Structure 1
Amino acid sequence: MEKWLIQSLWISVFGYLKEFRPEDPYTTQYLTNPPMNFTNEEIIQEIFPVSTYTCLGLTIIIFLVTDYLRYKPIIILNAISNVITQIFLIFTRTKTNMMIMEVFYGTMIACEVPYYTYVYTKVDKKYYKIVSSHMKMACLIGRLVSAILAQSLIDNHILTVPELNYLTLAGAITSLLWAVGLPSVKNSLYFHQSPANNSIRGNDINAPKPKTVCQILWSDFITAFTNRYVLQWSIWWALDTCIYYQFMAYAQSLYQEMYRGGTDLEVTDNGMIEAIYTIISTLGVYVIGIIMVPSWWLIGTLTLGQGVILLIMAQDHLLSHAYVGYVLFGTFYHIMATTANCEVAKNIPEDSFALVFGINTFISLLLQTCLTVVVNSPIGFMVNIRTQIYIYGQCCMIIGVLFTIKALWCTLSKRRNVIPLT
């Protein structure tokens, strides 16, 4: 087996293990029932927002420290944070402890970027596309297997919802042990460049004015974001990713609200829905890679579709409808995010991938934080879960309208250019 393939599979196994979290589809159910007994309002207004604030504060720091420490220590930090998160969930009961748990969960999320960029330092650029596919598929398989396993264990009364946390802890510990065994990185994009990369970037030892790290970062930033096309796609990515993560974080709270009011299904079906969502999202991403669809029209119409889905879910009372909405909303996002990533990647230098991804992630988190403060926090409106979903739906509608107008403008401009003058 070739060396690059071994390295790709090695990091992909870590991706599978870090996403093996059987308790994730039932987190809100676990927190609102014995032995935790928190209210839905405490969860959405006091506990969950902490991870958003933490992730925002750490994202840029993690990005720079990752490059300086050469990736592996931050991947290990990701695994450690995962382990500590589960320990707090299992062994602590107070609201303060849950907020501390969210700090470690936010740290874990902030450390996601090194996972997707680590392998680029280990393999040749010609393998970037295939190793990226390996890493993404590993994460999806991890989510799929854990969701199916969780649903099977619950349905057959083998484990209870609280006991799923122990299974998740076992996966987290295994991911930590695997992370420790990852090969070390000798070179990185900015602080520890290889001689060949130094030369390519105009930082050769024979150059009269070698570039500093700050100069290289600024040069890459200017190159990427002065490209109008890249900027437009980055704006969409940041906006819709903000709404996506906000909705996914609080969807289970909506399920609990529907369940308490009387509905048609049990919330113990969450694992099955998570598995279906993962499968359909994967198929959607695959299909969009092999068919030709005008990108701006795809973004505009699917974002509008997301808005309609959320507006319906905000006032519906059937859990079956909410589950369908969850699957469709998430699938639409993954299709659009894949398209956006491809469009951006085609228009920036390969060495800028991590920087652009990091900046877009930071902007998305900044928007999430602002939205969380306005919607959930004591200094904001502290709205109930249905109003919260309604607000997210309105945001999607506005974004969808803007990008549909962009699609229409591009279409009309193209037609004007091809119609011969008379």
Structure 2
Amino acid sequence: MGCFAKLRSSSWAYPTAVLSLYGFFANCRVAEPFLTPYLIGPNKNISGEVVTNYLFPIWTYSYLAFLVPVFLLTDLLRHKPLIVVQGFFLVTNYVLLCFAPGLPAMVVLQVNYAVVASTEVAYFSYIYTVIPVESYQRATGYLRSAMLAGYTFGASLAQVLVSLAGIDYFYLNAITLGIQSTAFLISFGLPMPQRSLFFKAEKDGTSGGDGPEEEKDGAGSGEANARRRGAAGWRTGGNVATAGLLLWQSFRDSYSSRHLVYPVIYWSLWWALATAGYVQVFNYIQLMWDHIEPSASSSIYNGGVEAACSLVGAAAAFSVGHIQVAWAVWGELALGLFSAVGTGAVFLMALTSSIWACYAGYVIFKSCYMLLITITTFQIASNLSMECYALTFGINTFVALLVQTILTFTVVDEAALGLDIVTQFIVYGSYYATISVLFLIRGTYTACVNQRSPERTGTTEPESSGEVLPAERF
């Protein structure tokens, strides 16, 4: 009890530990690597065409509808209630998968899962409202590690149970239901944040909870501190109109600086475009695997492949912090180069008849994305204050989902083209090829400009305009 009391009294250890536990169990979805075989198999008996062209698009459309309201509610309700809601809907998802028969129940499942996806913003932003700034880096590392460990453990356990024990897919969902129920119970143990980013109560005033953020960038970050002091001035109203003014101010701050606007825009553009393509591949890869090697008549290794993707992708993302590269100069070129590698991997998945080649292509594609999204996230965050970063994160996610919705309706939905799975992946490969060409051109231009005029890319001291550029951390 003494250790628990000591942990609970810590300013950052207790909420980080509880949220890490929640993240582990919430992402330990044993049944997820085998969702498509479960739906099209004897348990649910839904055809592959219906799953591809009707069922899965419902998730995309529902996610788009929920994203903006949930983003605003997350801050208004101060994060914890949305995490509890996420845990509840995770439980509901697997109740439906285990016990609800018929296509209508699976339609409800897709809407439920869209709620889960839209509330992820609460998980990723909660910790920054309850811990001091100096603990951000350690807490973020623990949370990411917990998520990775949960997903890897769940996928590995699924593969072992399917390959060695020959367990039916129904029992994978039953096991996952128990694990998600544990995550739901853990969510109640999270402390309630006393502050939010945009919706501020009258009692918070201009000093409550904002002191550490004033110190985040040190004495040299005059512009960032001025932005925070200005934001604090808006926080005395505590109503929707005041929050709207703060949102507008954060948006203006994000895109008003001559030195910051171009990096933020280009990195955000890649984030939005690449994420849309990545989610499409992630959503429909199991259907591609089933097309190449039908699960009804073959041994499949979806869980092992997902576990391998998590480990390789995490190693690639972890390596970013240990590679001495001026990302402000070479980052955009890296986006283009690794997007080109991802393009080749998607075409490999589309055109091969070997399941092992398709597995390899998926590992390469997902690893490239995880590497690049890590670089992108840091580069955007290093240019912006927490308020501006939160808003930019929301905008990027919304744009990515909007592009994904257009792709889904045009390519997948039976109301439009309703393409078969192979043709879909050829379209996704072409889409990624366009992204890689755009950023190869832009990255080459940035690198050449830096060779001629280093000061134009922010690798030298900033001009005497009063703006202070963020320092390179790598």
TM-score between the two structures when normalised by the length of structure 1: 0.94
Contact 2:41 2:296 in 1 (8 A): no
Of the candidates 301, 315, 318, which is equivalent to residue 351 of structure 2? 315
Of the candidates 2, 9, 14, which is equivalent to residue 22 of structure 2? 14
- The residue aligned with 1:390 is 426
User: Once the 2 structures are TM-superposed, how far is the Cα of residue 410 of structure 1 from its aligned partner?
Assistant: 1.1
Q: Residues of 2 paired with 1:386 and 1:57: CA distance? A: 28
Q: Residues of 2 paired with 1:252 and 1:274: CA distance? A: 11
Deviates more, 1:409-418 or 1:353-362: 409-418
Amino acid of the residue matched to residue 102 of structure 1? Q
- The residue aligned with 1:216 is 246
1:297-308 to 2 correspondences below 5 Å:
297-308=333-344
User: Once the 2 structures are TM-superposed, how far is the Cα of residue 333 of structure 1 from its aligned partner?
Assistant: 0.3
Deviates more, 1:137-146 or 1:305-314: 305-314
- The residue aligned with 1:373 is 409
Contact 2:234 2:246 in 1 (8 A): no
User: Once the 2 structures are TM-superposed, how far is the Cα of residue 415 of structure 1 from its aligned partner?
Assistant: 2.1
User: Once the 2 structures are TM-superposed, how far is the Cα of residue 204 of structure 1 from its aligned partner?
Assistant: 4.2
User: Once the 2 structures are TM-superposed, how far is the Cα of residue 207 of structure 1 from its aligned partner?
Assistant: 9.3
Matched, 1:230 2:250: no
CA offset digits 1:70-123 (Å, max 9, x no partner) = 111111111111111111111122112111110000110000000011111101
Deviates more, 1:210-219 or 1:383-392: 210-219
Q: Residues of 2 paired with 1:33 and 1:82: CA distance? A: 22
Q: Residues of 1 paired with 2:249 and 2:163: CA distance? A: 55
- The residue aligned with 2:464 is none
User: Once the 2 structures are TM-superposed, how far is the Cα of residue 316 of structure 1 from its aligned partner?
Assistant: 0.7
Contact 1:191 1:213 in 2 (8 A): yes
Over aligned residue pairs, what C-alpha RMSD do you find? 2.2
Of the candidates 343, 359, 367, which is equivalent to residue 379 of structure 2? 343
User: Once the 2 structures are TM-superposed, how far is the Cα of residue 292 of structure 1 from its aligned partner?
Assistant: 2.8
User: Once the 2 structures are TM-superposed, how far is the Cα of residue 128 of structure 1 from its aligned partner?
Assistant: 1.4
- The residue aligned with 1:65 is 73
Matched, 1:276 2:308: yes
- The residue aligned with 2:281 is 247
- The residue aligned with 1:23 is 31
User: Which ranges in structure 1 are unaligned for 5 or more consecutive residues?
Assistant: none
Q: Residues of 1 paired with 2:389 and 2:291: CA distance? A: 41
- The residue aligned with 2:13 is 5
Q: Residues of 1 paired with 2:426 and 2:332: CA distance? A: 25
Of the candidates 346, 355, 362, which is equivalent to residue 326 of structure 1? 362
Equivalent pairs counted in the alignment come to: 416
Amino acid of the residue matched to residue 152 of structure 2? L
Q: Residues of 2 paired with 1:375 and 1:158: CA distance? A: 36
Amino acid of the residue matched to residue 353 of structure 1? Y
1 or 2 for the larger relative contact order (CA 8 Å, sep ≥6)? 1
SS at structure 2 position matched to 1:48:
helix
Contact 1:224 1:356 in 2 (8 A): yes
- The residue aligned with 1:84 is 92
Q: Residues of 2 paired with 1:329 and 1:206: CA distance? A: 43
Q: Residues of 2 paired with 1:205 and 1:65: CA distance? A: 19
Q: Residues of 1 paired with 2:133 and 2:309: CA distance? A: 32
Q: Residues of 2 paired with 1:262 and 1:13: CA distance? A: 35
Say if 1:187 and 1:404 are closer, same or farther in 2 by CA, change over 3 A. same
Say if 1:80 and 1:417 are closer, same or farther in 2 by CA, change over 3 A. same
Q: Residues of 1 paired with 2:155 and 2:296: CA distance? A: 25
Q: Residues of 1 paired with 2:78 and 2:262: CA distance? A: 32
Q: Residues of 1 paired with 2:184 and 2:295: CA distance? A: 41
Deviates more, 1:179-188 or 1:365-374: 179-188
CA offset digits 1:308-341 (Å, max 9, x no partner) = 1111211111000011111110000000000000
Q: Residues of 2 paired with 1:205 and 1:224: CA distance? A: 17
Q: Residues of 1 paired with 2:37 and 2:28: CA distance? A: 19
User: Once the 2 structures are TM-superposed, how far is the Cα of residue 205 of structure 1 from its aligned partner?
Assistant: 8.9
Of the candidates 295, 299, 302, which is equivalent to residue 266 of structure 1? 299
SS at structure 1 position matched to 2:423:
helix
- The residue aligned with 2:221 is none
Q: Residues of 2 paired with 1:191 and 1:115: CA distance? A: 18
Say if 1:408 and 1:34 are closer, same or farther in 2 by CA, change over 3 A. same
Contact 1:186 1:192 in 2 (8 A): no
Q: Residues of 1 paired with 2:235 and 2:65: CA distance? A: 39
Say if 1:206 and 1:121 are closer, same or farther in 2 by CA, change over 3 A. closer
Say if 1:60 and 1:129 are closer, same or farther in 2 by CA, change over 3 A. same
Amino acid of the residue matched to residue 279 of structure 1? L
Q: Residues of 2 paired with 1:310 and 1:378: CA distance? A: 23
User: Which ranges in structure 2 are unaligned for 5 or more consecutive residues?
Assistant: 1-6, 212-227, 455-474
Q: Residues of 2 paired with 1:396 and 1:353: CA distance? A: 26
Q: Residues of 1 paired with 2:234 and 2:394: CA distance? A: 29
- The residue aligned with 1:178 is 186
Matched, 1:99 2:129: no
User: Once the 2 structures are TM-superposed, how far is the Cα of residue 181 of structure 1 from its aligned partner?
Assistant: 1.9
| Identical-residue share of aligned pairs (%) | 29
